[in-house]
Amino acid sequence: MPKRGAFIVIEGLDRSGKSTQAAALLRRLQDAQVSAKLIKFPDRTTPIGKMIDAYLRSESELDDRAIHLLFSANRWELASSIEATLRSGETIICDRYAFSGLAFSASKVRPGSQSYPLLDYDWCRTPDAGLPAPDLTLFLDVSTDAAKARGGYGEERYEREDVQRRVRDVFVRIGDQVEAGGGRWEVVDADESEEAVRDVIWDAAKDLVKGVDAPIEKLWDDKREVGNVEALYM
Ligand code: Z5A
Ligand code: MG
């Protein structure tokens, strides 16, 4: 059986350098003659993506649950093509994925509160359950000071220091949960130079991009977390 492509997700806080690193990894793979493509969420080009774009630019208002479900639907639009691409042997680098959806929605707080959640964490996780699961997630962890020093910070809806702090807390919880479920979640210090981050990412991904023997897993597949199918029905 020929190997399938690897599914590599780059996640992280705002201005952590995700798009920069995703493009650099793609170039490196192309130079090494590895068949690879880059995708990005939100995909603002689809009809759902256009609604998301208007919301992020504060050109429209949407209920917090509605926008959460739209972000997820935007991923489901591409789910079967992601699987087909991986099966064809092509590697996918994905700039943000379901973990951003969970982190940004579950970190929202009720008006006037700094800590009382608006949306339940498990409610936020559910719509993405069953999407193709990444083989590797690289979480680019940037300090607020470094992020603020980079271009464009503060132009869109969630680009505020208090929001980013809460989002980071949820990302830490997500990373623990991914690892508990048998997934690979690597934290990368994104305060470092572009070149240093590039090297850390390459080190983490270089074996995977030779091809993957294992089947494509499903995201938040609770059977994996429990580790025993029967246990689900007891
Ligand atoms: N969102 C959500 O709520 N739910 C979801 O399901 C999803 C997303 C998928 C828009 O995302 C928002 O959507 C986002 C989460 C939410 N809100 N926030 N905050 P987006 O991906 O479209 O956002 P973006 O506009 O691309 O920004 P970004 O992704 O946060 O930036 P980045 O990709 O991490 O950074 P970058 O563009 O690569 O780099 C930023 C600048 O820093 C640029 O000038 C670089 O040259 C510079 N840079 C990069 N790396 C370095 C290093 N190492 N040192 C110094 N300077 C650097
Ligand atoms: Mg980006």
Domains of the chain: 8-233 (3.40.50.300)
- Mean pLDDT value across residues 88-105: 98
If phi over 0 gives left and psi between -120 and 50 gives alpha, with beta otherwise, what is residue 89? left
Pocket (CB within 6 angstroms of ligand 1): 12, 14-20, 41-42, 56, 71, 96, 100-101, 104, 150-151, 156, 158-159, 193-194, 197
18-46 confidence digits (pLDDT tens): 999 999 999 999 999 999 999 999 999 99
- Ligand 1 probe mutation, 9, 14, 118, most atoms within 8 A of CB: 14
CA 35 / ligand 1 centre spacing (Å): 25
Helix (H) or strand (E) holding 36: strand 36-40
CA 33 / ligand 2 centre spacing (Å): 25
114-125 confidence digits (pLDDT tens): 889 999 999 999
CB neighbour class for 225 (10 Å; exposed up to 12, middle 13-18, buried from 19): middle
> Can you tell me which atom of ligand 1 is nearest the CA of 190?
53
3-class SS of residue 120: coil
Please state whether the predicted TM-score (pTM) of the whole model is above 0.85.
yes
- Ligand 1 probe mutation, 11, 96, 191, most atoms within 8 A of CB: 96
64-75 confidence digits (pLDDT tens): 999 999 999 999
